[in-house]
Structures are given as C-alpha cells and as structure tokens.
A and B are shown apart, each in its own frame.
Chain A
Amino acid sequence: MNTKIFDEVTEIIAGILEVDKNMINGETAIGDIESWDSLHHLRIISSVEHKYGFRFTPDILLDLEDVEDIVNATEEQIK
C-alpha cells in the first residue's frame, strides 16, 4: 500500500467523518465508524475522485470494503 496515498486518503476520510485520523487504519471497514453512513461515503468517494482527478466505475466501487481497498483502488487509478 502506497504510504503517501494512504495518508492523503485517511486525511480525507477523517476530515469528512470528523474523527481523529489515528482512529483510521487500513482495516477500518466502510461503515465501522458511526458517522460513516451513505451520505458521508458519497462525500468521501467524491473527494477522493476530485483530489486525484478520476472517477471510479461501479464495479470498482462495489468491491470496496475497507480503507485499504480505497487506497489500493486509488493507486490503481492514478498509475
């Protein structure tokens, strides 16, 4: 997992969920944190897409289960 992207993505997630960045690790699953509901998830996805300038396709989005998945999918998109 790319450390720089991991840091940037966790920062986005922590900012949107309004939680401490240290609460988030690679295994934190989508929905594990109370405020990580569908509205916040959409904001997280949009913010990641906006930051790196691409758009996830539904088949990639459907496979996302945790933070590590989001980081890896992002890394794959910007290769």
Chain B
Amino acid sequence: MKPIVEQVIENSRSNPDKIAVCDGKSAISFAELAGMILSAKETLVSSYHIAKGDAIIIAADKQLEFVGVYFACHLIGAIALPIAPDTNEKRYDAIKDRAHPVLTVGFYDGQIPEADFSEFAERKRIADHSGIVYPSLDDVADIMFTTGTTGEPKGVQLTHRNIAAAARNINAFVQNEAEDVEMIALPVSHSFGIGRMRCALSNGQTVIMLGSFANVKRFFGFIERYHVTGFGMVPASWALLKRMSGMKINEYKEQLHYIEIGSAPMPTEEKQGLMDALPNTRICMHYGLTEASRSAFMEFHECADRLTTVGKQTPNMTISIKDENGIDLPNGVEGEICVAGDAVTVGYLNISKEKSFWDMYFRTGDWGVRDDDGFITLKSRKKELINVGGKKVSPMEVEAVLMDFDFVEDCACVGIPDPEGILGEVVKAYLVTQEPDKADWGEMDRRIGERLESYKHPAEYAVVNEIPKTSSGKVQRLLLK
C-alpha cells in the first residue's frame, strides 16, 4: 500500500496528459496536478516554514488549488485540516484550540500566518520525480473534525494508511475504473466528499468538481458535457434531484456506471425508485463514520430483497457486534457495532482511546444486529445526533444557544422526520417558558440568526411544562421523540 499522494503522482507518470481535475472553469492534467502539488510544497516550506507534523487549516473549497495544497501537505508530512469555507467562528476557534495549526489557507485569521489559494496556482510540469520523499503510512495525514455528542468538535486522526486503505476498500466494492469520470458535488470538507476525491484520483480517474447539487441544471449539464459516469450523493441529494427534475436521471441509465450513497438512512421506497431509474448502475450504499471509513456496503440491485439492512462488512474491514463489556455477540443478538481494519482511525486528537475502542475495534456508538447471512441492520443511534440531510447536528449545541435567551427556562432538541420528506430529519426544539408567544418559529429563527448554521436551526418548536430528565439530571431526549 502506498500513500494516496504517491499514487496520484505515480498516475502523473503513467497518464501525464489525462485530465485529473476540472472545476468547470479550468482543468489540469495529472502531470500539471503533480507539478501543482510539488510547487505548493515548495511554497509551504520556503514561505511558511511548514515541516513534518505541522497542522494546516485549509478551506475545503472546490477549486483546483485546494487539491494541490491538500496533497502538498501530505507530501511534507504535515497534517491537513480541511474544513468548510463557511465554518462559523466558534467552531473555527475550537478547532484551532485543539489542533494548534501553524498556518491557515483560505481563511482570514489574524493570529496565525495566512496564505491565499492564489499563491498555489503554479502548475508547471516537473518531470523529475526522483528526489521526492513520500510520507510514512503511519504518519497522520488528516484530522477531520466531527460533531461530537457534546457539540464540541472532535478531531479524528487519519493516517496515510487509513486513507489509502479506505480508498482501496471503497474502490474494490464500487468497482469504479480508471476510465470512469467522477463528479464531486458533495462538500470536500466532509469525509464522504473528500474520500470520493481520494478514491477517484488514486484510481487515475478524472474528477469534475461541481459547487453543489443545488444547481440541478448545472449538475445534469456537467453529466452531459464531461460524460460523467459516477458520483457520490447523500439521500437528501436524491430527494432534491427528484424534486427538481422528476426522473430525468433515467436518461443517463446507460452512462452512469456507479453511484455511492451514504451519510444518512434512505427510505426503502427511495432506494427502489433509484433502482428503477438506473437498472444497470451499481448503486452502492455505505454505512460508515469518519472514524471507521465505510464499514459496511450494499449494492441495491444485488441485495434487492435486503434493502432494509446496511449491507455486509466492507472488503478488508471487520465488524463485530459487541455487548457493553466488549464481548462478541452471536448473530441475531443486538449490540454495539464495532469496526476493525486498517481504514479505522488511530484515535481522536488528544483523547484517550480507552472509551472509543475495544482493543482494535472502534466503538461506533450505533446499535445493530447481524443475521446469519452477514447482513447488518441498524437499530438505533445511541448517540443522539440529529442527521439533517447527512449533516450531523448536536442537540446540545442548539440547546446552548436557545438557553441563552432569557425567556427560555429549559429546553431539549431532538430529530424528527422532515415533514417535507426531503432531509431525513430536522431539529425540533422543546421549550419551557412562561412567554410562549416568543416560541414562534419566525421569531426564534430571527433570534438565533447567525449563531447557528441554518441547517441547525430548529424547524419546529413546542412549549412543554418540563423536560424529562433522569434522576441524575440527564436529559432524556428519546422520550420527546
């Protein structure tokens, strides 16, 4: 196994003129991408004194330079922290506190050195790769910040081995080939989107970057123009595509070789609808976490009679259903889904592994059961995160903002099915207040304003007499659902 950056640079030797990345405005070949990575490395080292082990925050924007800077970090042995360009200040500061970055690219910071993407636009071909020293597979490559149950970001450390193993496993299941053209419309600040980018580029595929699924006309325009043959999406993307275009995707049933779906549960009828629209496409849905890559997979057509499950363990990954003492449970018995394999994180940043691992098995916090055929059914989410269209919302983060309003005496937030049937779940807030007229949705939304990203804003409010709690005072959110 080789680090992803090494695989990408190797692809530049075997296929120098093939388009590696296109953002719809300009495109670069694999040779130019390798040149961009090597030039960006020089800039990071000479202008910003970046060395092995240094952490760099990068605005994960879908532009060619992001790809260059991201892999340049890897080449130096530095640690990439790709975060959303619109990350709010509180989260940004929390990430900074934990990771102690020495440079930020694409953000205004004011405290640590800042670089602009324009400094990394150089893309001259560099033919001589003989002096390149690649990072060790056991060095940390990325730290991905997830939303923990406390609402505080947790840094998931992923080594070069982790991300290379993940790409190998996913490509083995999805069966995408070097000739395939992948469109990335998912955000590359999340593990799913950036993971798809690594899968495709390490595989020698052309990657087409699309801003988002929102512009459905452009989405289909890009499929036509670039002859896209595969992409990743979350169930909300499919809901959007259907709402905006009916079954237009059926027009590409011969062209689309694969789709990877993940990040949130998908209703069975939606799966069936997609299968009907794309009878010849490998529609692969994963169950996974940033910490454990894609842990289980299923292909809809192959598993048409098992669509209510999350499939079987991914190639090279091992799933064990364990009890609360870490003991393996037999098939048919419900327990915690635990995952082992070389794509599993080496641990959280600055947090002991003790609570998140049973030996080599990462504890997902999800409850499930495996049947005798190896299919795993997800039973419940032990963690109380709310899954808004694939984006995880911590109820505690929302509650902390609501509790700041003087008329809110107590509150709790839970996920409820999206009444529109689009996002999977939306946030519902239960408030204890003597001034119920202030619990109006419009009024509350205005008060919350920019304190929370809009997908974290509650979609519904209810006034209650009290919030159910355990004897020790822990909020019993599940009782409110």
Contact = CB atoms under 8 A, between A and B. Distances in A.
Interface stretch (B206-214, B277-285, B320-328): B206-214
Report, as a range, how many residues of chain B touch the other chain. 35 or more
Given A18-B450, A42-B422, A61-B243, 7 more contacts: A16-B454, A30-B214, A31-B215, A31-B218, A36-B211, A41-B215, A45-B243
Interface of A: 16-18, 29-32, 34-43, 45-46, 58-59, 61-65
Contacts of A29: 215, 218
B263 interface: no
A58 B211 contact: no
24 contacts: A16-B454, A29-B218, A30-B217, A31-B210, A31-B212, A34-B61, A35-B453, A37-B213, A40-B454, A40-B455, A41-B212, A41-B214, A42-B240, A42-B420, A58-B243, A58-B245, A58-B246, A59-B246, A61-B243, A62-B216, A62-B220, A62-B244, A62-B246, A64-B216
A18 B211 CA distance: 18
B217 A43 contact: no
B213 A38 contact: yes
Contacts of B449: 18
B190 to A, nearest CB: 11
A3 to B, nearest CB: 25
Contacts of B86: 34-35
Nearest to B216: A62
B247 to A, nearest CB: 9
Contacts of A17: 454
Interface string B245-256: 110100000000
Contacts of B216: 61-62, 64
B187 A37 contact: yes
A32 B391 CA distance: 20
B259 interface: no
The 6 A-B pairs of least Cβ separation, nearest first, read A41-B214, A31-B211, A38-B213, A31-B215, A58-B246, A37-B212
Contacts of A45: 243
Interface in B48-107: 61, 85-86
Contacts of B423: 39, 42
Contacts of A46: 420
Nearest to B88: A18
B108 to A, nearest CB: 14
Contact of A30 (B215, B237, B389): B215
Contacts of A37: 187, 212-214
B420 A38 contact: no
B217 A36 contact: no
B427 interface: no
Nearest to B245: A62
Among B211, B214, B220, B449, which residue has the most Cβ atoms of chain A within 10 A? B214
B245 A38 contact: no
A42 B243 contact: yes
B199 interface: no
A38 B388 CA distance: 12
B236 interface: yes
A43 B455 CA distance: 10
A58 B215 contact: no
A39 B389 contact: yes
A29 B211 CA distance: 11
A46 B187 CA distance: 22
Nearest to A43: B454
B57 to A, nearest CB: 16
Given A40-B454, A43-B454, A64 B217 contact: yes
Nearest to A61: B244
Contact of B236 (A16, A35, A39): A39
Contacts of A18: 449-450, 454
